[in-house]
Structure 1
């Protein structure tokens, strides 16, 4: 035995563990899936990997937790199994989110070796397409049919520079640009490509680089404005003239209101709770690749009148940075991250599980028509995840304009009565 120890000193000794010890180590990391979910390409991780046997080295910021380099071969094997799964459960509740027929598909692939960011996903219900951008291409967007996978180009006129965010509201598409000499929020006609600016300044100051946007049921628009435009050296972007901030824009009065410029370093993705009392915002400062930089999702209470109160951290990602956000029908939060999309309970901060895309960075995500269809825009691929849990039901936001007009008239009459 001494001879073997001398031949294999230090960290190589654990490779001589008996098979039973390896099985124990493997079992300390992974749980068995219940029979109902055994057909899924999924794994159940024990206790959020609270204890990793032996020693290990972590990778750079974009590398997920399963890409650590451990000294224990059995740990390596367990983490390889996790990496190869389509779904990673950290909590038994995630299995209910997935259902028994969950699947993950790649519906489009991009040339390897190119660093291109695919962003601004907007589901177009009229054509069953996902609109998306390649932020490095000016004046051009794409739409992919999520079932046939046919792709078409959508030119913009006047051309939009570096489209980074998008949303669908009351039958119309709105996008945010973070490049060019004038950056802002634009309405986009996906049939003609015609664009029209909605807001492009804050009282004469150039916006930094609008990143993401959402609407509430009263058509108030929230958007984030970090300094990615100049950080990414997009042509024409001036030095910052404003703090990084979250804004609220009223399309009826054209009033633009700054809501927060201190709680977050690099405000990014946005989502609203179903009751519209809570605003979720991603802070993606770690996209500058500093390990100690902020990479978390915060929640704010929305005061009457729109101001934000009580910022609080609800989730910190272990790698990459949080980007796009969406809310599910049961109030869970889906977060685009390096290596997939994390699903958390925002009330407790509990990580339930991950839609797993190893080797890829998911920049944004969007629900589609149909129960539990989620579309993920990554660096390398666009993914279609079909799970049991669907998106939050925004009945007002999905109605045709004529219904909106009726609803708004009823609301106006109701307010007069008060």
Structure 2
């Protein structure tokens, strides 16, 4: 009875379309699917009623596959467009600073040099931070013990550039370099960063993802670059080492810990349709999310796949207080329960101008708000549950 009530409520709200969960694994009649498009846009069956349902879902901001997602949305979910520009200004990072009521994000690296912007959640105003020195191409970000950490992408046109990780004090704007090399070798495509504090101790460890280095034209690859994978910095022992190799994760991208700090989640932007773009052999990697346990020494162990993207590949990743997994994919912001079931989607078709070519790669969970970085659009969605209570 509860399912029928929820379905009826959803059907009365044009912003939400509910699709039976069984359609994700069992479709009636004959069907075709195109992975270049989303499930709703790229699936066609011989059943007109199913096609009509999918067509409705393709135009809806919220697509539900489970009562849990409807409860999360609440009775009247409404996307609020904060700002829209002609450029892709809302691209990466998505760092919530709870005590300041702010979300820090970065612009889109594919459009040239990047910078940091700050969304004030009190009045939805946007500004740039007043920082002590420029940060070269800030990209991924994470909040830890009063500082915002950003990855800095190396610019190959300038041989003096190194890339690495910097910290920013949000109170003073002071910028400090944290990492810029491994024994003289430069960071290239360092993408994301996350801190994890070992339970029961005050020891924290920083994990960074390094993408395969790509370069346009016939220029040779630089020799002073670090291999891709997951690296960990131990500030207690002053040790920087790779902890997940490129043979395990060829295109390691997003990284985040679980709220209890006992697990590490990493996205892989690999797979058949992506390997060539990274200069990798065909069929290397998988467009999936991996979950690792963190052992007594805070090394990631016991890898398993907990999610796989249908369209494109997962990039940004978050875990909320109910162990739900949130990812930025071609479909949009996809929400899965702790078992890996897709319970709902914040549809990219509605939150970015071109869901095929301008994907949503990052977002922020900010208390009971979802902040969607839609590239040329910045969105805020008030939800019916507190997603997280700790800044990240």
TM-score normalised by length of structure 2: 0.80
Q: Which residue of 2 aligns with 1:357?
A: 348
Q: Which runs of 5+ in 1 are unaligned?
A: 1-29, 399-418
1:209 aligns with 2:201: no
Q: Which residue of 2 aligns with 1:188?
A: 168
* Alignment match of 1:56 (pick from 19, 22, 32): 32
Q: Which residue of 2 aligns with 1:84?
A: 59
The 1-side partners of 2:136 and 2:221 are apart by: 10
RMSD: 3.1
SS at match of 1:81: helix
The 1-side partners of 2:113 and 2:221 are apart by: 14
- 2:35–2:311 contact (8 Å) kept in structure 1: no
1:288 aligns with 2:264: no
* Alignment match of 2:370 (pick from 374, 394, 401): 374
* Alignment match of 1:120 (pick from 93, 105, 117): 93
Cα distance 1:380–1:64, how it changes in 2: closer, same or farther (>3 A)? Answer: farther
1:34 aligns with 2:3: no
Shift of 1:53: 4.0
- 2:154–2:187 contact (8 Å) kept in structure 1: no
Cα distance 1:148–1:241, how it changes in 2: closer, same or farther (>3 A)? Answer: same
Q: Which residue of 2 aligns with 1:199?
A: 179
Shift of 1:146: 3.4
1:254 aligns with 2:232: no
* Cα offsets for 1:115-173 (capped at 9, x unmatched): 67711122234543322111245363212223533222236553222221011112211
* Alignment match of 2:329 (pick from 337, 341, 352): 337
1:108 aligns with 2:99: no
* Alignment match of 1:67 (pick from 34, 37, 41): 41
Shift of 1:36: 4.9
- 2:19–2:53 contact (8 Å) kept in structure 1: no
Q: Which residue of 1 aligns with 2:228?
A: 244
The 2-side partners of 1:39 and 1:231 are apart by: 50
Q: Which runs of 5+ in 2 are unaligned?
A: 156-160, 198-202, 277-281
Larger-gyration structure (1/2): 1
1:94 aligns with 2:80: no
Q: Which has the higher contact order (CA 8 A, sep 6+)?
A: 2
Q: Which residue of 1 aligns with 2:379?
A: 383
Cα distance 1:156–1:294, how it changes in 2: closer, same or farther (>3 A)? Answer: farther
Tell me whether 285-294 or 181-190 shows the greater mean CA deviation. 285-294
1:141 aligns with 2:116: yes
- 1:214–1:222 contact (8 Å) kept in structure 2: yes
- 2:131–2:174 contact (8 Å) kept in structure 1: yes
Shift of 1:226: 1.4
- 2:7–2:18 contact (8 Å) kept in structure 1: no
The 1-side partners of 2:186 and 2:28 are apart by: 49
Shift of 1:269: 1.0
Q: Which residue of 1 aligns with 2:134?
A: 159
Shift of 1:289: 7.2
The 2-side partners of 1:55 and 1:309 are apart by: 39
SS at match of 1:389: coil
- 1:139–1:157 contact (8 Å) kept in structure 2: no
Cα distance 1:352–1:163, how it changes in 2: closer, same or farther (>3 A)? Answer: same
SS at match of 1:220: strand
